[in-house]
Structure 1
Amino acid sequence: MTDSPAFCAALQICVLVSPAPRVVHERHISLPAGSTVQQALTCSGLESDFPELELGNAALWVLGVWGRKTMPGHVLRDLDRVEFYRPLTVDPKVARRERFQKQGTQRAGLFAKRRAGAKAGY
């Protein structure tokens, strides 16, 4: 039974990190079955290329597998994609409010296309 593909198969994992906007570094690695997110980071070599990815700085970076937040001890499956997300520099709610205030109410939201003579808000 030990020579079946399920026991011998290595996991094909893709590790992604984006240290700056529009810059993505991608590594494809093979790991033994039962490997974790932390082992994927170590084997990918991205930790040595980007020292800020060190798992001690976990408060700054968020780990994810296929867009879902995860922990360093998460056990990976074949063809998983491990992602490292930068911390947000601006709160998305604040940025949206500032954009709305800058463009005004005339061109945004429900009030953008109002019929002549219509009540306010319709």
Structure 2
Amino acid sequence: MADLINVQLCYAAPLREYFRALSVARGTTIEQAIRQSGVLQDLPGVDLAAQPVGIFGKKRPLDTVLREHDRIEIYRPLVADPKESRRRRSEKKAAAA
């Protein structure tokens, strides 16, 4: 029997949170764990080709090998450019002053 490690998978959709604890074989990649988790069947809108993934808030490629207690995160596409949002807030703040 393969040596197993425990990892977590999370994805936050606008109206739903998805969290699953998994036991996977040592040497499993992020992509393999995501496919094993069933998230792609549960949430058909998730597209690994278009959406970045990461571990504990740091983007990682799908072929990254997992370690014990890693938390895999699937990131949603941005709806607004952060730089543009900051610029609008600063303009609004300057106009109010």
Q: One fold, TM greater than 0.5?
A: yes
TM-score range, shorter chain: 0.7 to 0.9
- Paired amino acid for 2:36: C
1:29-108 matches, within 5 Å, as 29-55=22-48, 58-59=49-50, 61-104=51-94
Residue 65 of structure 1 and its aligned partner are, at CA, apart by: 0.9
The aligned counterpart of 1:17 is 11
Residue 26 of structure 1 and its aligned partner are, at CA, apart by: 0.6
1:45-88 CA distances to partner (integer Å, 9 max, x unpaired)?
11101112232xx22x1110111111111110110000001111
Between the aligned residues of both structures, percent identity stands at: 34
The aligned counterpart of 1:26 is 19
Gaps in structure 1 of 5+ consecutive residues = 1-6, 108-122
Q: What TM-score does the superposition give when structure 2 sets the normalisation length? A: 0.87
Q: How many residues align?
A: 97
Residue 24 of structure 1 and its aligned partner are, at CA, apart by: 2.4
- Paired amino acid for 2:5: L
Q: Which runs of 4+ in 1 moved over 3 A?
A: none
The CA RMSD over aligned residues, in Å, is 2.0
Gaps in structure 2 of 5+ consecutive residues = none
Higher RCO, 1 vs 2 (CA within 8 Å, ≥6 residues apart): 2
Rg larger in 1 or in 2? 1
